[in-house]
Structure 1
Amino acid sequence: MAEKHHTHEEFIKWLVEGHLPLAIPIFKKHGIISYSLFITPASLNGALKEKFEKIRPTWDFADFDCSLEYTIPDVETIQKVMADPDWPAALKDHEEWLDASKALLSLGYHVPYLLETGEVVNLPK
């Protein structure tokens, strides 16, 4: 999540226009297959929370600006990115923009069931 002195819009702008142009070449160099942002503005999460807080009072709602998703061939790929001599430049000023101590990481795999084309896949027959 962006630090409180930056707006959501300013944070996303820094991420997309400042960080990613430096990071994407490093990702490609080390074999990251894909990278995407799932942007979660407060306006959408607030509306979602308002609609569901009475129906599902135990549910929690995202309190962060975005989540990042990497598709990688192996865990070592992330280690290679972080060890790349150009990586510190890609992180320039990141401490001004995000609180890395609140990062939440997970490792798993993606299984699609409904494609953008409307096709249903991977369900048992």
Structure 2
Amino acid sequence: MAELGEQKILKYTVTHHRKEGRTHEEFLNWIIRDHIPLALPVLKKHGCIEYSIFSTPADLNGALRASIEKVHPTWEYADYDCIIEYSFRGIESIGKVMADPEWHAALKDDDEWVDKSKALLSLGYSTPFLLTTGEVVNLQ
């Protein structure tokens, strides 16, 4: 498992769609320019050990769909704009972030940018098997 010493690292993800009328690029620029600078200090204060954005632009998904649909015609493709990924040492840190008034300030404009009716949350563990160094790990 993804571990720090003997402790498993929790991965918390939020899948986001942009509000209608906003482009993918505008949406990501808002997250990076306006949201992240306010969010990172709060996340660090409460023990977030990693934060990243997995961006899913429509042109990449369209190209993937076109090349794969003959092999897997029933597969669905991501229509969201991004997945925000957080890593924590414990679930209590997530609660502390969510309760922090500074976190609410970091979300002050999200009603203008995020279609919250389509958000998808997940919580679990990420287990690496191939590292960027080329090392194979976690096989027993």
Q: Name 2:129's counterpart in structure 1.
A: 113
Matched, 1:123 2:139: yes
Please tell me the root mean square deviation across aligned C-alpha atoms, in Å.
0.9
Deviation at 1:110, TM superposition (A): 1.2
Deviation at 1:115, TM superposition (A): 0.7
CA distance in 1, matches of 2:69, 2:19: 26
TM-score normalised per structure 2:
0.85
CA distance in 2, matches of 1:34, 1:95: 25
Q: Name 2:75's counterpart in structure 1.
A: 59
CA distance in 2, matches of 1:79, 1:102: 22
CA distance in 1, matches of 2:90, 2:133: 29
TM-score normalised per structure 1:
0.95
Q: Name 2:65's counterpart in structure 1.
A: 49
Aligned ranges 1:35-114 → 2 under 5 Å? 35-114=51-130
Matched, 1:20 2:36: yes
Q: Secondary structure at the match of 1:71?
A: strand
CA distance in 1, matches of 2:39, 2:46: 11
Ranges of 4+ aligned residues in structure 1 off by more than 3 Å: none
Deviation at 1:106, TM superposition (A): 1.2
CA distance in 2, matches of 1:29, 1:92: 19
CA distance in 1, matches of 2:86, 2:128: 15
Q: Identify the structure with bigger relative contact order (alpha carbons < 8 Å, sequence gap 6+).
A: 2
Sequence identity of aligned pairs in percent?
60
In proportion to residue count, which structure has more strand? Answer: 2
Q: Secondary structure at the match of 2:48?
A: coil
> 1:41-87, CA deviations, whole angstroms, 9 ceiling, x for partnerless residues?
11111100111112101111000111011111122211111111212
Q: Name 2:13's counterpart in structure 1.
A: none
Deviation at 1:101, TM superposition (A): 2.2
Residue ranges of structure 1 left out of the alignment (5+ in a row): none
Residue ranges of structure 2 left out of the alignment (5+ in a row): 1-16
Residue number among 22, 42, 55 corresponding to 1:6 in the alignment: 22
CA distance in 1, matches of 2:29, 2:116: 18
